[in-house]
Structure 1
Amino acid sequence: MLTGKQKRFLRSQAHHLDAIFQIGKGGMNDGIVRHVLDAIETRELMKISVLNNCLEEPKDLAEELAKSTKSELVQVIGRTIILYKESKDHKQIELPKA
């Protein structure tokens, strides 16, 4: 579980990132979960955008995606989801202590 200080730090790091994946009309499926799992292992922090034609709410998608990828939900702002998961092999981000 991330502390408020750690979430603020991760939000500042994610500010400059571009969204890697887009969730559209089809909603979330196993393919998206698999790709997010692969990408988050190497990147640790990532943005995902939810397109306007997606029928599901971004907040619901974010919680479901975080749960299925075993990652931490940092923030949902508008239609953008920010996820974090500490990498086993490609550790890049050093979180501040609580």
Structure 2
Amino acid sequence: MLKGKQRSYLKGLANKMKPIAQIGKNGITESFVSQLDDMLESKELVKVNILETSLLETKEAANELARLTNSEFVQAIGNKFVLYREAKEEPTIELPR
């Protein structure tokens, strides 16, 4: 569970990022979850864009993907959201305590 200071730190890092994954009309599929899992392992912090063709709500999709990938929901703004999970091997993001 992220603390407020940690969440704020991750929001600051995510602010400069561009979305590297998209959810389209097919919604949340097994292959998308697998790809997102791999991205979280390599990058730790991932911004996802939900296309207008998808009928998903941003926070609902973010919470579902956080559950499926065992990651932390950081924030949702408009049709974008950010997830975080510390890498098992060689973490690169050091969270404040």
TM-score (norm 1): 0.96
Q: What's the secondary structure of 2:42's corresponding residue?
A: helix
Corresponding residue for residue 44 of structure 1: 44
Corresponding residue for residue 59 of structure 1: 59
Do the aligned partners of 1:42 and 1:90 also contact (CA within 8 Å) in 2?
Answer: no
Corresponding residue for residue 84 of structure 1: 84
Q: 2:90, 2:53 → 1: CA distance?
A: 34
> How many residues were matched structurally?
97
- For the aligned residue pairs, the C-alpha RMSD in angstroms reads 0.7
1:59 aligned partner, one-letter code: K
Identity of matched residues, %: 43
Corresponding residue for residue 21 of structure 2: 21
For structure 1, the 5+ residue unaligned runs are none
1:85 aligned partner, one-letter code: R
Q: 2:80, 2:90 → 1: CA distance?
A: 24
- How far off is 1:53 after superposition? 1.0
- How far off is 1:11 after superposition? 0.3
For residues 63-84 of structure 1, the C-alpha deviation after alignment (integer angstroms, 9 at most, x for no partner) is: 1000000000000111101000
TM-score (norm 2): 0.97
For structure 2, the 5+ residue unaligned runs are none
